């Protein structure tokens, strides 16, 4: 029996996202990212295809590693211009009934107290369909533009992130008790003050003494996504994430990554099968293999070589513009995305700069699957069965065509094979995904903060007494 297959759409509030140069294709509409109609039409398409959600990436900063400047990033619209992702939640929710909405936001660029209110508001407005993709950021330009000298060291960013989510858990889970909001018109009591608590957080990086500003949203804590794939990133995901996004260039790399993550989740005291792992791929399909291949070759004509290396340099922290196309990628210690360097410089393939640029020209760091619906379904089932991955995070070559093709061709084929859902389950995003209720489960570290007064008492005790 083949594994069930899940889809997530991967997009960004920008032009072209991870297919630099394809904005010039006559059918591409990513340049209309500024218009809500684009996002609402896309969301309806994805909901028709029973996608788990739309995962909206984000960066703060710009890609200026390649050739030591941001010229090619700006020239090719390589994730600049880029708009705020969270403002898309409400319009997408208005256009759909079930689609999950995953929003990327960095722990490096916004204070947890104000961000908690923004997330709760979005979860209210979407009736519990919000997820948060927790990132620590990798662009030095972003840190410099908010007045910092540069990014913290890689591992230290995860230390900050661990305390950041602790603050959010205290606000989401503990500040307002169940039943705190009474809305009692006769007694003229809206909220029982005795059931609203200050969180009293005083940590190494954040001091947040007071109350959460928002009443509990349908999920309290939104569904937690995470895409870190370095050692510290994996440890963080194993403890915190409910859905993990990965990018693996080959099936063997993906299989090892999934097995490693399952083990880390179990070691963290959580149920490995209740954490979904999605891998990044791009699907190019049509009625026949020949038509799909012709479409792929057409798309390749629009790929920007410089635009691709802009991303590769930014993600790795290595200026690939200083090398010849025939040079091989070397492993260099940087402060950017460690897993990227490990995969392309220490994996099972020796990459030249030219091969790297061509590989990343469509869809970024994931493989591109090309073929008829039957061929693509075979590939997806093979990857799911062989690697134990739960689903696929689908990037696009041309939007909305790439997503419409998946919904029109691939989804019916997978449904015919009995490995893809035919309808959504009711409830919040968390309930749809896992079927265990609206809130985080008892084995998640956030659960301990539901009794915030006990947490504060413990924090005030001498260390010897706690030990």
Angle between helices 251-267 and 373-387 (to 10 degrees): 40
Q: Which segments in the chain show pLDDT lower than 50? A: 151-152, 154, 334-338, 345-346
- Residue environment code for 315-330, b if the CB has 16+ CB neighbours within 10 A, otherwise e: bbbbbbbebeeeeebe
CA distance 154 to 336: 7
What are φ and ψ of residue 303, in 5° steps? -65, 135
Give one DSSP letter per residue of 276-340, joined into a string. EEEEEEEEEE-SSHHHHHHHHHHHHTT--HHHHHHHHHHHHT--GGGS-TTSBP-----SS-HHH
Q: What pLDDT sits at residue 109?
A: 82
Q: What pLDDT sits at residue 154?
A: 46
Residue among 192, 176, 194, 193 nearest 184 (CA): 192
217: annotated binding-site residue?
no
User: What are the domain boundaries of the chain?
Assistant: 6-292+366-460, 305-360
58: annotated binding-site residue?
yes
How many CA atoms lie less than 13 Å away from 210 in the CB half-sphere? 9
Rounded (5°) CA angle 264-270-275: 80
Give one DSSP letter per residue of 44-93, joined into a string. HHHHHTT-SEEEEE--SS----GGGSSHHHHHTTSS-SB--SGGGHHHHH
CA distance 258 to 264: 10
Give one DSSP letter per residue of 136-165, joined into a string. ----HHHHHTTT-SSPPPHHHHHHHHHHHH
Residue among 312, 295, 297, 298 nearest 360 (CA): 312
- As a whole number of Å, the CA-based R_g of the chain is 22
- State the sign of the Cα–Cα–Cα–Cα dihedral 224, 226, 232, 234: positive
Whole-model pTM: value is 0.92
Residue among 459, 463, 288, 284 nearest 363 (CA): 284
257: annotated binding-site residue?
no
Which residues make beta-bridge pairs with 191?
181
64: annotated binding-site residue?
no
- Please identify which residue in the block is written with the tokens 């003050």: 193
For domain 6-292+366-460, give its CATH number from 3.20.20.30, 3.30.1360.40, 1.25.50.20, 3.40.50.1000: 3.20.20.30
120: annotated binding-site residue?
no
């Amino acid at each position: 029996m083949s594994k069930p297959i899940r889809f997530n759409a991967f997009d960004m509030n920008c032009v072209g996202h991870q297919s630099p140069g394809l904005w010039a294709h006559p059918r591409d509409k990513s340049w209309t990212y500024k218009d809500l109609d684009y996002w609402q039409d896309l969301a309806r398409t994805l909901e028709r295809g029973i996608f788990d959600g739309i995962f909206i990436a984000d960066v703060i900063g710009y890609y200026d590693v390649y050739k030591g400047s941001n010229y090619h990033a700006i020239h090719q619209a390589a994730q600049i211009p880029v708009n705020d992702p969270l403002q898309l939640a409400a319009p997408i929710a208005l256009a759909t009934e079930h689609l999950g909405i995953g929003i990327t936001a960095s722990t490096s660029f916004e204070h947890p107290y104000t961000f908690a209110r923004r997330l709760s508001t979005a979860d209210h407005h979407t009736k519990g369909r919000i997820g948060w993709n927790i990132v620590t950021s990798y662009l030095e330009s972003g840190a410099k533009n908010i007045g910092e000298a540069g990014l913290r060291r890689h591992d230290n960013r995860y230390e900050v992130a661990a305390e950041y989510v602790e603050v959010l858990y205290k606000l989401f889970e503990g500040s307002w008790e169940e039943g705190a909001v009474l809305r009692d018109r006769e007694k003229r009591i809206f909220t029982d003050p005795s059931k609203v608590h200050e969180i009293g957080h005083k940590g190494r990086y954040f001091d947040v003494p007071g109350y959460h500003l928002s009443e509990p949203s349908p999920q309290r804590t939104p569904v937690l996504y995470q895409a870190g794939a370095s050692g510290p990133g994996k440890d963080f995901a194993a403890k915190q994430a409910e859905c993990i996004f990965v990018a693996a260039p080959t099936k063997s790399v993906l299989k090892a990554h999934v097995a490693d993550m399952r083990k880390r989740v179990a070691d963290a005291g959580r149920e490995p099968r209740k954490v979904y792992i999605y891998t990044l791929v791009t699907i190019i399909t049509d009625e026949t293999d020949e038509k799909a291949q012709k479409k792929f070759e057409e798309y390749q004509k629009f790929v920007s070589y410089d635009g691709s290396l802009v991303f590769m340099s930014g993600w790795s922290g290595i200026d690939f513009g200083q090398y010849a196309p025939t040079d091989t990628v070397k492993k260099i210690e940087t402060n950017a995305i460690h897993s990227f360097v490990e995969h392309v410089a220490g994996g099972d393939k020796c990459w030249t700069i030219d091969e790297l640029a061509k590989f990343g020209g469509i869809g970024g760091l994931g493989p591109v699957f090309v073929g008829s619906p039957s061929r693509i379904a075979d590939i997806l089932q093979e990857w799911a069965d062989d690697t134990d991955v739960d689903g696929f995070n689908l990037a696009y070559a041309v939007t909305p065509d790439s997503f419409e093709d998946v919904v029109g061709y691939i989804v019916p084929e997978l449904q015919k094979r009995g490995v893809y859902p035919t309808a959504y389950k009711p409830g919040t995003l968390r309930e749809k995904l896992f079927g265990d209720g609206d809130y985080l489960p008892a084995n998640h570290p956030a659960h301990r903060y539901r009794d915030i007064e006990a947490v504060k008492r413990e924090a005030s005790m001498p260390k010897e007494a706690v030990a």
